[in-house]
Each structure stands twice: as C-alpha cells, then as structure tokens.
Structure 1
C-alpha cells in the first residue's frame, strides 16, 4: 500500500524542481534566468530559487489533503486555503515581491490532481482532473484586483483562472506535444525552450498584456512563432534585448512552462512504494 506522506514528499520535490528548472532555463526573453533579470528590476535568479524552495511545504500539504479525495468544493477550498498560506510564506521570503503566485495556482492544482490519482495517471488526465477542481467555487477567496485580472477585464482574454478551468488547453495542445516531440529527438533544454516558445506564440499572456497592451502581446506572439519555425534558438538572446527595451515579460508562459515540466516529471516517475521511499532516504 502506498504511503500518502511518501507520495506527497515526492510530488512536492518535483514541483519545486520544476520551478527551479524553469527559472534556470537560459536565455528566456524578458524573464529572469541565469544571465540577467529580463524586464524585472525587482527580481533576481537567487530570489526566484529561494521563493521556489519556500513552496515545498505548500505543495506537500496540497498533496496530502487531496490523497484519497475526489474533486469537490471541499478540496478546492482546502487547497485554496493552503495556497494562500503559501503566498504569505513566499512574500515573506521575497519581501513582498510576487515571484510565484501564478505557479502556486497551476502547479498546486496539478499536485492535487496527481495525489488524487496516486501518481498513476498520464499528463492529459491530470490536466482534466485539475480543471475539475478549478471549476468548483472557492467561497473564501479574498476580493483582489491583480494585474492579471485587470488585463482579463480590459482585453476580454482568458487568464490563469480560465486556463485551469478549461484543463490547461495551452499545455495539452501546444507546450506538452512540442516538449515531448523535442525531448525524444534532441535534448531537455531544447525541449523546454521550444515548449516555452510554443506557449508564448499561442497564449494571450496577461503579463504581456499588462506591460505592452495588445501591440506588445502580438509582437511577442509573432516573434516567438518566428523563432520556433526557424529553429534558431540563438536568436533568443536578441529577443531578450528587444523584450527588455519594450519592458515585456511573458510571465504567464513561464508559469505554464513550469507546469509542463512538472507534468513531464510526474509522467516519468514510478510512484510505487519502493520508488517513493528511495527518493527520500
């Protein structure tokens, strides 16, 4: 019989690893990576890594509460409560800077979904289970008007909430297929960069909309599709300089990239009692 603690420990570790791998991926236009801060004056690589590490307990607690549960309003509200506590811990580490609020939402839902299935599920099923959870109402969400919500209201696009409620269509249709095809033919870094470009080329990224409006969003989408089609990843460094000049940052794409990496890690891991035990001893 599988131990929920061992499963939750593994899922939390994989979630944190995915966040660290996302920020470590270099170069990423407009985003923090190992070379520079992109378009973010208030963020650094080390701060992003520390923020990711601070969320281990959040993901662990989400997995524990979801184990042996089905999708329900109770579960939605419990992981919402845990997520808000995770945000508080994150803000303590970052001194008030929002580093991973979107990632807590997306990876948190996927963590709960993986725990429901006890690690024995494919990526697409996990997306749909996460979507079922997201569609329940959380009656305890405090009323907040974030930059993402402002962009959704102003431009009539789907934000992070709708992306999850629709079972992460941009992951299922774009980033995951591109990632899996590339990782089988080439290598993981190229797969991650291609998945990132596929997301940017197709997602109505509210972070881009907030900073650059519709013009900035279209510029980023077309540029990303051009680089992806050309297969010239060396152009990402030039793209980064262009994004910094325009103050553009595809933060929504970065969150979904981390979620894509996480789903792939879960799919590659064998969640037997022995395997999970081995990872923590």
Structure 2
C-alpha cells in the first residue's frame, strides 16, 4: 500500500477541498471559480534535469479574473517523519519558483503519523540570517476529529480515521466518514475508490466491526446496497467488454484469413495491426480487401 499514492489521488481528485483542509492558513482566497492545475512531473523532470526532486503534488492556483497573482502549493505527504528532509523540500520550492517565475510559493507537508520533523531551516553567519525557510504542517494524528464530524469538506471527512479521537469511538468515526462520502460524492466509482481509503485508514478489527454493525444499521444497510449495486454494475460492464472484445478478436481473425488467402502470408507487424485494431477500423479494412491489390492498400 502506498500512502503517497493514496494522498496524491485524493489531492488530485479534490484539489479545492484538499487545499482548504491541509493548507487552511493560505487557502482562504481559494473558491470554486479559482483554477487549480497540477504541475506535470514529466515537465519538471525535462526542464529541471538533475535538479528535479520528485515530491507529491505541486498545484498551481490561478485567479481567472486576475485579482490575485498565481500561487503554487507544493504538497508532500509523509507517513514517516524520519524520512522527511526540510533541505530537499526547500531545494524543490526554490527550483519551482525559478522555473515558474513565481514568488508566491506555499510548501505544505501532511504528516500521517507522529511528529518531530524540523519545522524551519535558517542559514546565516555571525551577524545576519540570510535564508529562512518554513512550511505549513498538517499533523493528522494530532488533529482533533470532533470539529470535522459533520464537515462539508469531503477531504476532511475522508481523513477522520487519521485524526485524534478516543479508541472506543472508532466505529463512530468510521460511520461519519462513510456518511460524508455518500452525501458529498455523487459518483459511484469515486464512492468505491474512497470507501477503500476509509477502510484502509480506519482499519477496524473484528470487534470494532461488530460494534459498527450493531450501532449503525442504516450505514451497514447502505454499504451493503452500494456494494451489491456496484458489483452488479461492474459485472455487467465486464460482460459487455468481454463480448465486445470477443467480437473484435473474431473479426480480426476472419480478416487475417481473407488477406492471407488473397495475398499470401502477412508480416508479423501486419498481423499485429489487425489484431489490435478497433471494430470500426476492421470494418473499413474488410471493405477494402474486395478491391485492394496488396496488404498495404488494405491497411493504409
């Protein structure tokens, strides 16, 4: 399980809500009219070369009406604070500021567990301090869950299991996270995706699951209904895809046989093109074979 990827998905799927939750101090001016775009990692690799230090999610925030200058949020998730390097983060922020010609850069670090990482970096001599760097820290494990139990911020609700609460309340926390997911996310695919997220980070044991089932029957029923509906939908989609794939393979096999009877053995590359073509292309080629004088004319 990759915590980095879990949180990267969460931030990319819900960037506005993620910044309002993880970087509340700097996200006050961000609303739904604001454009938030991830900076592509491959672009950074190409332009920064050896200086490139891949972290989680750089997000460029722009105000279309021009009322504010663009701002870059550099968001990193750390499941183990011992792996965190403030020097690496400072380097990366300076690289991005130079590359994108920005001075409004906000580094944000999400600590999943524990603390102890340095919060500031100061460089200087005997008389002056010449560089000071710090970042916004979101320590999920020490953040009280209580104020977020009924939040309309989906990112906050999904992270309830990662926050601080009495151990005996874990089934309740799980229920509130699940209620938030159902009420705030309408798409079934994302509901399934983030039900897994909640389940992973809640990590209910057998006894806690029994408590959840006993005290939250409505949620248990909703989860069961959702699972059945989503599974049935997935099976139908799988059957349809399988049927389409089977028809495509059959059409490709017929076309190969017709072409080899007319033109002789095909090359490996020609066979591969036919076997990987879509149904519409196969239909076009099947019509061309009637008048074509070579395989190249059919596949042009």
The TM-score with structure 2 as length reference comes to: 0.28
Structure of higher CA gyration radius: 2
The structure richer in helix per residue is 1
The structure richer in strand per residue is 2
The TM-score with structure 1 as length reference comes to: 0.29
